[in-house]
Structure 1
Amino acid sequence: MCTVSFIPKKDSFIITSNRDEHISRSPAYQPKTEIINGVKVVFPQDPKAGGTWFAINEKNVAVVLLNGAFENHKSTGNYKKSRGLVVLDIVSHNNPQAYLDEINLTNIEPFTVIVVQQNKLVELRWDGGDKFIKSLDSSECYIWSSTTLYNKVVIKNREELFLKFLDNSVINTASIVDFHSNNHQDFQNGFIIDRASGLKTFSVTQVVLEKEKISLKHIDLLDNNTNMIELPVNQLMNQI
């Protein structure tokens, strides 16, 4: 939920996410399949609130969360719903991208969410008072960093590392995971962090969206365990 990249390939989209948390937080449950609002959804679950930072559904939709919107904010610690549950609300909706316009986020902690649906890429930022929804070109590559953990200078540096990676590497699922699994000689602000404050990268999750199927790979860095789930696309439900 703290670093997300989006890379289009000829016949697929690859979305990869790093989850950074404090070591006092319980590790997430391994990815599971659940029916929510009549839709088959796959997601790794946060045991604290029951939500998630990364979810896919059988209609070839992916929803990915980052903490914070445009800048770091002070948490009140008293919100009506976890941001991770908002992710499940979105991914289980009949039309997730259209739902972004309707969803009431009053008293939800600021966040950024990326929604990929039928070759369309949309970014929503909620700053605690207003929603900012932007359609992005799904033929381009993007990277996002959580504003709660990384300042503007660091975010810019991470973007530059990403561009160098795109220019100098063979781009495939394995090389992208390797990029996300590298501290880039900086345990404070690299893609794998291990800060003295107790903040640490817990996992790397990657989804490949193809026309007929979605593949999810979840790498738990705490117990060195990898879990993979393949979800066939339901072509009948995919007609939105």
Structure 2
Amino acid sequence: MCTVTYLPTSDTTFILTSSRDERIARKPALFPVYKHTPFHAKVLFPQDGDKGGTWIASSSTLTVCLLNGAFENHVPEPPYRLSRGLVVVSVFDYASVDEFIHAYNFQGIEPFTMIMVQHASTVILTELRWDGKEKHISKTNSQQPYIWSSVTLYDRQMIEERTLWFSQWLQEKAFNVESIRGFHQSGGKGTDTSYNIRMNRPGLVSTVSITSVEVEISLLRMYYEDLATNTLAQQTFRRLAYPQII
């Protein structure tokens, strides 16, 4: 849940990729898992093996991705009412992103950053940060690339350096799934694995998987790579010709 990149590939298509940095002892995720709601006929996601939630999920018209922490590293204050990963799944129970933001009860949930990309007739990119007390909402330019790093694992200097690596990569590489997944695999200095894009802090936490969502005009593809087993799975489904959720 800790490094996310967004690449626009046209006015209406994009690639969102998430590297999940987690404790080694955490149970492996299940993929694919589907959920069906009145507003989204099919929601696809990898499911956390411990809490049953997820860090990334997609329907034909909406993709949601989670990072731990809001603006700065916080001191955990358990017990929490609900796992943050279950909040991601709950977004799809609402008729729209705006309805979710205004109606959902965030009290008792640990701070997080949520990236929500609506991809019906147009692409709308919304960033929601919950600091444990207040919601902070911003609409960002969906035609610009972005990188987010979890503030619970990376300090300001690390985040700035990771942003620089991404900026350099943007000057050199094509905007496609293979290329951006390569960045998530090998981006960084190479010598200090503690905050490379694929990170490793021995005995504590490491990058356990890489998930990409590729939204095209008529298709959506999700790629899930389990780095412990070196297995890559892919699920594809056709997007609605006339999306109901805008």
TM-score range, shorter chain: over 0.9
The answer for the alignment partner of 1:86 in structure 2 is 87
Equivalent residues of 2:58, 2:64 under 8 A apart: yes
Aligned partner of 2:96: which letter? N
- Alignment deviations for residues 34-86 of structure 1 (CA, whole Å, 9 cap, x no partner): 2245631100000211100000013x210000000000011122111110000
Q: TM-score, normalised by structure 1?
A: 0.95
| 1:189 equivalent in structure 2 | 195
Residue 6 of structure 2 is matched in structure 1 by 6
- Which residue is 2:160 aligned to? 156
User: How much does 1:236 deviate?
Assistant: 4.7
Normalising by structure 2, we get a TM-score of: 0.93
Residue aligning to 2:77 = 76
Provide the rounded CA distance (Å) in 2 between the counterparts of 1:153 and 1:223.
Answer: 32
Alignment match, 2:68? 67
1:27 CA drift (Å): 1.2
Q: Secondary structure at the match of 2:160?
A: helix
Query: More deviation in 5-14 or 120-129?
Result: 5-14
Secondary structure in structure 1 of the residue aligned to 2:36:
strand
**Aligned-pair distance for 1:218?**
0.5
Task: Tell me the alpha carbon deviations over residues 137-184 of structure 1, each in whole angstroms, 9 at most, x when there is no partner.
Answer: 000111000000000000000000000000122221101000001152
Moved more, 28-37 or 120-129: 28-37
Q: Distance in 2 between matches of 1:53 and 1:238?
A: 24
Task: Give the corresponding residue for 2:105.
Answer: 104
- Alignment pair present for 1:234 and 2:240: yes
Q: Tell me the distance in 2 between the aligned counterparts of 1:115 and 1:106.
A: 20
Q: Flag structure 2 segments of 5+ consecutive residues without an equivalent.
A: none
Determine the C-alpha separation between the residues in 2 that align with 1:98 and 1:162.
Answer: 33
Alpha-carbon distance between aligned partners in 2 of 1:197 and 1:73, rounded to the nearest angstrom = 22
Amino acid at match of 1:4: V
Q: Is the 8 A contact 1:41 1:92 kept in 2?
A: no
Distance 2:102 2:39 in 1: 21
Pairing 1:107-146 to 2, within 5 Å after superposition: 107-118=108-119, 119-146=123-150
Name the CA distance, whole Å, in 2 between partners of 1:123 and 1:84.
16
Matches of 2:109 and 2:76, distance apart in 1 = 10
- In structure 1, the gaps of 5 or more residues are none
Deviation at 1:238, TM superposition (A): 2.7
1:166 to 2:170 alignment = yes
Count, aligned residues: 239
Where does residue 45 of structure 2 map in the other structure?
A: 43
Do residues 53 (structure 1) and 59 (structure 2) align? no
How far does residue 125 in structure 1 lie from its aligned partner after superposition?
0.2
- Supply the distance in 2 between the matched residues of 1:93 and 1:174 (Cα, whole angstroms): 33
> What CA distance in whole angstroms lies between the structure 2 residues aligned with 1:17 and 1:79?
24
Paired residues for 1:14-33 under 5 Å: 14-33=15-34
User: How high is the sequence identity, in percent, across the aligned residues?
Assistant: 38
SS of residue paired to 1:174: helix
Cα distance in 2 for residues equivalent to 1:155 and 1:197: 22
* Alignment match, 1:213: 219
State the distance in 2 between where 1:96 and 1:50 align.
22
SS of structure 2 residue aligned to 1:87: helix
Larger deviation: 95-104 or 24-33? 95-104
The CA distance in 1 between the partners of 2:103 and 2:217, in whole Å, is: 27
- Aligned equivalents of 2:93 and 2:45: distance in 1? 11
